[in-house]
Structure 1
Amino acid sequence: MAAFWTLAPVMVLAALGLLFVRKAVHAALLLAVVMISLAVLYAGLDAPFLFAVQIVVYTGAILMLFLFVLMLVGVDASDSVVETIRGQRLLAVLAGLLLGVTLVLGIGQVTLGATVGLGEANEGGNIPALANLLFSRHVVAFEVTSALLITAAIGAMVLAHRERLDPKATQADLAAQRVRDFSAKGTHLGPLPAPGTYARHNAVDTPALLPDGSPAALSISRVLAARGSVRPVSPTEVAPVDGAQGDGPVPESSETEGGR
């Protein structure tokens, strides 16, 4: 009882947070809070099998699959509000109503005493009793649910897969493109190092520099750029080489001698 009154407000707040948070990663973490709290309630009701399934399958597998897909798609990817399947909103409303009716009927049976008590249901042990029900009376529903989960996993991989239309640019291709950019600007490379990126620090949030002093966009993860966690580049961090001709940046400290 104490566990219920402690975890029930947490679960309700986390469930409401799922509806109002703006980032999908935060929603997934709130869903983890609900799942773990529900597992604790199962353990308090002497249902060790449901406790283990809730932790291992739902929290440890399915929720991690959600996070894996979010990381593949990108946390900065915007959600599309275009209805790609006709009638999906109507089907969603009908499915929600069906779920609500199912919950009302289940709560009504528990309240009116139409269900079998836990003592009688767990007379031979909780796990043997559940196994007997799953693989005898409800084996078809169990197999259909398994197929549904496999279909969801395959669908997540298909949605997260991206076809590469162009070959991946190599370092030589990037260097050649930068040479062409310098030529288009009318800027002479001079005796400075060949075009490339020059690391200023070994931190992942510090961008590398291009020969013209601008930060290299490819040196910073898109996730960090979307979060706004990239360190800004100040003009004082770039100093000219003594006696060098032409314009261009070089690192002023020994931390930048290594290129990346």
Structure 2
Amino acid sequence: MLAAAAPGDPPTGEKVAFWVLAPVALGGAIGMVLARNAIHSALFLVCTMFSLGVFYVLQAGPFIGMVQIIVYTGAIMILFLFVLMLVGRDSSDSIVETLRGQRLAAILLGIGLAALVTTGLYRALGEVNARGLAETNARAGGNVEGIAAQLFTRYVFAFEVTSALLITAAVGAMILAHVERDKAGVPTQRERSIARFRKGNYPAPKPGPGVYALADSVATPALLPDGTAADGSVAPSVERRELDSGLTTPKG
């Protein structure tokens, strides 16, 4: 796996980076839980994941740090945001249960996950003593090469199953959150087009008073390109001035 940083007092730059990013990571985690808007919650989580990636790099783990930033902060969170924006969820939608009993199931699963994470951290910090890390990296030709060899040979099936589960989860979220809207009474694009070109309707913009005419009075009807008077070019409140048959001079 990854080589640990040398023991001793950390350098000043590492201390500064920790005290700057630690509040960002903690604040992002708290904001993710407390945010009422799903988009804001996802953006808070992005801040936390990015800070964790920087912490990994500071602890002599550049590969896992870049994976944290590129895969989790970049790809997976963008996938979450894409699904949220596509289905248009907000805080009011959480009141309605799509599946019966999903709140109770979510609480139980959350408690179980918290217990597993706590147990794992306790064992990792108290009981597990990593050995042979340098020898393993030397046999594989490097840390990154060793991880790649294990990931795409011994654990390739688990890797592909995980990717399939992520895609399935995204598609399932879209299906569960999809809301059917009643389209009865809403005219289609074809019906709108037919109504626009029915007899009595002029689909193009109508000319204003005096356009193509020999007078500039608002009482003079406009002339269409074929020489006929446009019916709607003079306001009903204005007495209309009739033109001669030759369309050369107005009467009166």
Q: What is the deviation of 1:51?
A: 2.0
C-alpha separation in 1, matches of 2:187 and 2:56: 50
CA RMSD of aligned residues (A): 4.0
Structure 2 regions of 5+ residues with no counterpart? 1-13, 197-201, 206-232, 238-252
Note closer, same or farther for the CA distance 1:97–1:20 as it changes in structure 2 (3 Å cut).
closer
SS in 2 for 1:56: helix
Q: CA deviation at 1:169?
A: 3.1
Q: 1:104 & 1:77 partners in 2: Cα distance?
A: 30
- Give TM-score, length-normalised by structure 1: 0.57
What residue number does 2:146 align with? 129
Looking at structure 2, the residues matched to 103 and 155 of structure 1 have their Cα atoms a distance apart, in angstroms, of 26
Unaligned 5+ residue runs, structure 1?
178-192, 197-241, 247-260
2:11 maps to none
Supply the distance in 1 between the matched residues of 2:113 and 2:124 (Cα, whole angstroms): 17
Letter in 1 for 2:99: I
Any conservation in 2 of the 1:17–1:27 contact (CA below 8 Å)? yes
1:122 CA drift (Å) = 6.9
Is the radius of gyration larger for structure 1 or structure 2? 2
Q: State the partner residue of 1:102.
A: 116
Three-state SS of the structure 1 residue aligned to 2:95 is coil
Q: Work out whether 1:144 is the aligned partner of 2:161.
A: yes
1:79 shift after superposition: 1.2
Answer yes or no: is 1:245 the counterpart of 2:236: yes
TM-score normalised by L of structure 2 = 0.58
What is the percentage of aligned positions where both structures have the same residue? 47
1:40 Cα offset (Å) = 1.1
SS in 1 for 2:129: coil
Please tell me whether residue 51 in structure 1 is matched to residue 65 in structure 2.
yes
**Alignment partners' CA distance in 2, 1:109 and 1:96:** 20
Q: 1:14–1:34: 8 Å Cα contact kept in structure 2?
A: yes
**Do the aligned partners of residues 87 and 133 (structure 1) sit closer, same or farther apart at CA in structure 2, a change above 3 Å counting?**
farther
1:180 matched residue in structure 2: none
**SS of residue paired to 2:96:** coil
SS in 2 for 1:79: helix
Aligned to 1:169: 188
| Change over 3 Å in CA distance of 1:94–1:120 after alignment to 2 | farther
